[in-house]
Amino acid sequence: MTLLSPRALLTRLIAFDTTSHRSNLELIAFAANLLADRGWQCVMTSDASGEKQNLFASLGPRVDGGLVLSGHSDVVPAMSSGWESDPFTLREADERFYGRGTCDMKGFIATVLYAGQSLAASALKRPLHIALSYDEEVGCLGVPRLLETLDPHYPTPRHAVIGEPTMLQAMGDHKGILRARACVHGKAAHSSLPELGSSAISAGAGAVASFYRWLPEASSRYSGLSGNIGLIKGGTAGNIIADLCTFSCELRYRGEVNVEELLGELQRVIAPAQLDELLCAAGLTREGNEELLERVLRLAAHPEIGSVPYMTEAGLFQRSGMQAVVCGPGNIAQAHQSNEYISLTQFSAGLAMVEHLIAGQCRERAGER
């Protein structure tokens, strides 16, 4: 059976336009077929529309000590401005691979699929899993569904490495996120007769001001709390009193937080606005992850464990009972940019890390460290 090279795999992955508002079914089918043909047990889970899928592929003995190598299949939009080539056609130049997703995070996925396609189940002493999720970029929407339906024939994996671009530094923690839309309703009227209406924009502006007055005090009680209102909309015309105003609310926090309590406090602060369209993704903590951090640190490119300021799926894996770490090839500064790239050096080093992690599953027996 012909094996695809790392570059060939990356070329195929980049060619799938998996921008978050599009379907990822073709990419998932490609990865599942490649792995299933080589003996992997593949389970797909879908969103409500059926246009998005996760893949959870498993190989090896059904014993404790499983390792998950995880990446998200979706990418952010590739606006035409600034791109020097087709974002969905891999281009090699200046010792770099260019294309949307090369860094975030199809480069990592290509290395995982390359290593996985040539692996024999008989070589594994502990199980190996590959997880590909949908809609990470719009709020980690896919991975909860994936984790709900882990293969019941395998024990819960012990370790999960999420290959976000960290320049191969092991990252042990990041903030959680709480995001919602806030809505304020008013009453429309002609602006020449303001007494007949009630401005939703005026009430919304008051709620926004209240949010920013509350934030410094809340940050002193919730360690590491930060917040932002990055979007506000309202009204239909300059001569009509607005009957609706909406704005985004985002809070990021470190450590264990009672999210329901924090959400209730936020709701009281921004009243009369009402929160809806809630999104919440867990943060990642180092506590309880010492074994995996030690394992990855031996392979990482940096001698110290770091932290990332952005959200990943790692906290969700940790909440499901696994030790989790963020570590992958590429520079996060290239993510979401025009002419996104991963250096050939990082790509090769990422493959080496993945192969060493898999080699650990081949050497170690269940119950051993």
Q: How far apart are CA 158 and CA 29, in angstroms?
A: 27
The DSSP string of 37-97 is TTT-EEEEEE-TTSS-EEEEEEES-SSS--EEEEEE--B----STT-SS-TTS-EEETTEE
For 106, residues 6+ apart whose C-beta sits below 8 A from its C-beta are: 10, 13, 14, 71, 73, 75
Q: Residue 163 is which amino acid?
A: G
Query: Three-state SS across 199-220?
Result: CHHHHHHHHHHHHHHHHHHHHH
Q: Residue 33 is which amino acid?
A: N
Give the residue carrying structure tokens 């920013």. Answer: 212
Strand partners, 55: 44, 132
Q: Are strands 323-326 and 159-162 parallel, antiparallel or unpaired?
A: parallel
Q: How far apart are CA 354 and CA 273, in angstroms?
A: 48
Give the residue carrying structure tokens 């990592």. Answer: 108
Q: How far apart are CA 23 and CA 50, in angstroms?
A: 9
For 285, residues 6+ apart whose C-beta sits below 8 A from its C-beta are: 173, 255, 256, 315, 318
Q: Which of 314, 189, 209 is nearest to 270 (CA)?
A: 209
Would you name the residues annotated as active-site residues?
74, 136
Give the residue carrying structure tokens 């990822």. Answer: 24
Strand partners, 130: 57, 69
